[in-house]
């Protein structure tokens, strides 16, 4: 329906940057058609260089492709256009994390939290970066805070589970897995989140089972597969390379 609406808008007026941006998002998130998405984002920005959303979403697209310097530049352009935006500040931290610039990601996440101390997504990024820099206790504290603020939805609980796993707190990580896979629960749990926890626990077979399920589900963060640091322990496995090729993502970034 989003595609139909964007295409109809472009039939009425091809010069609508918003419609090109919406179409690009469909191509990225639903079709995994990266080249077409790139063209649509570039066209949107050609039509309206001051369109913040186009800069933000294009930054995410570039990050997924491993084009990290360009992604940071796009995210910074969005922030320059809307300097008090909590989202634009958070997005820079997000991009820096996937670029593996963890100290900068920490600093930027903290800047975002100065604007909104209860912004759970910024807390999540801060926790991720703490994990990658070995600051496990701080990561766990941050993820617990994010869970409290959001009333423990599965996607935030999963981040806490991964933090416990990389910290060597296996019992706690398995307790989170049990919570997420409880058959009596009625909340959607991303297979990608489960794969990330299994990866941290060293269970490759279960991790790949979950990654295949995430592929079938078109999991929303799976397009970051080529650049996600939390899946680095799987990089030498041909099954991951095969999955990247099926998605049309770069196998090396």
Contacts of 162 (CB under 8 A, 6+ apart): 131, 173, 196, 197, 200, 230
pLDDT digit string, tens, across residues 62-84: 999 999 999 999 999 999 999 99
pLDDT at 195: 98
Q: Which residue's structure tokens are 């796009």?
A: 74
> Is the pLDDT at 230 greater than 90, yes or no?
yes
pLDDT digit string, tens, across residues 198-221: 999 999 999 999 999 999 999 989
Q: Do residues 88 and 56 lie in contact, with contact meaning Cβ atoms separated by under 8 Å?
A: yes
């Amino acid at each position: 329906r989003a595609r139909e609406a964007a295409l109809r808008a472009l039939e009425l007026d091809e010069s609508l940057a918003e419609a090109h941006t919406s179409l690009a998002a469909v191509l990225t998130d639903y079709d995994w058609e990266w080249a077409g998405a790139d063209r649509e984002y570039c066209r949107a920005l050609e039509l309206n260089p001051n369109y913040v959303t186009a800069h933000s979403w294009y930054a995410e697209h570039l990050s997924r492709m491993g084009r990290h310097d360009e992604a940071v530049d796009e995210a910074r352009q969005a922030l320059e256009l809307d300097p008090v935006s909590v989202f634009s500040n958070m997005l820079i931290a997000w991009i820096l994390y996937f670029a593996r610039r963890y100290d900068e990601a920490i600093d930027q996440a903290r800047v975002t939290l100065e604007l909104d101390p209860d912004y759970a997504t910024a807390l999540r990024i801060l926790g991720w970066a703490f994990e990658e820099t070995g600051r496990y206790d701080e990561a766990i504290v941050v993820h617990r805070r994010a869970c409290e603020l959001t009333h423990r939805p599965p996607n935030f609980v999963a981040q806490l589970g991964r933090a416990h796993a990389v910290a060597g707190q296996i019992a706690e990580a398995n307790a989170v897995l049990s919570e997420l896979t409880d058959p009596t629960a009625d909340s959607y749990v991303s297979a990608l989140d489960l794969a990330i926890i299994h990866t941290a626990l060293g269970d490759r077979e279960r991790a790949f089972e979950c990654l295949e399920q995430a592929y079938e589900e078109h999991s929303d963060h799976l397009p970051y597969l080529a650049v996600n640091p939390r899946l680095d322990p799987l990089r030498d496995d041909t099954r991951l390379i095969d999955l990247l090729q099926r998605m049309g993502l770069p196998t090396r970034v």
